[in-house]
Amino acid sequence: MAANESYPDDLRYHPEHDWARIEGDEAVLGITWYAQDALGELVHFEAPEAGATITKDGAYAEVESVKAPHGAGVVTSGSLSPCLEIGIGMACVPVEDAVPGTPIEVDVRGKVRGAEVREKPLYRKANSG
């Protein structure tokens, strides 16, 4: 049986569907009913270490579900570009890193590789002459 939609007033909500319950100098963190419903069954959850310091708008946990991965840094697609003859991919990155030229690291089948945020289009147009 699914839980009833609920948004308690004692929680502080973030636009990304996370919440915090402040208890003294500590916070209990969670995701909203909407996020739980959208994610469905969780297949992976990696919480921060006990006592870890987190920052406003920063990632604090890794969540993956049967329906979709959640959070920045998740590669959504990738392939070898026949025009550029290099690997290209699409990923969710934090807004502050979404500036063309920003160096990032990506996990490709368990290997961390250097990458760079690029402007679209990710291909060269063929010469028409």
**Nearest-angstrom CA–CA distance, 44 and 63:** 6
pTM of the model: 0.46
Domain ranges for the chain, please list them.
12-70, 75-116
CATH number of 12-70: 2.40.50.100
Among 71, 54, 92, 65, which Cα is nearest to 16's? 71
Q: Give mean pLDDT, residues 28-41.
A: 79
pLDDT in tens, 55-90: 877 777 777 765 554 445 556 667 777 777 777 777
First to last CA, the chain: 64
pLDDT tier at 112, thresholds 50, 70, 90: confident
- Residue 52, SS3 per DSSP: coil
How far is 40 from 67, CA to CA, in rounded Å? 6
Lookup result for tokens 């002459």:
129
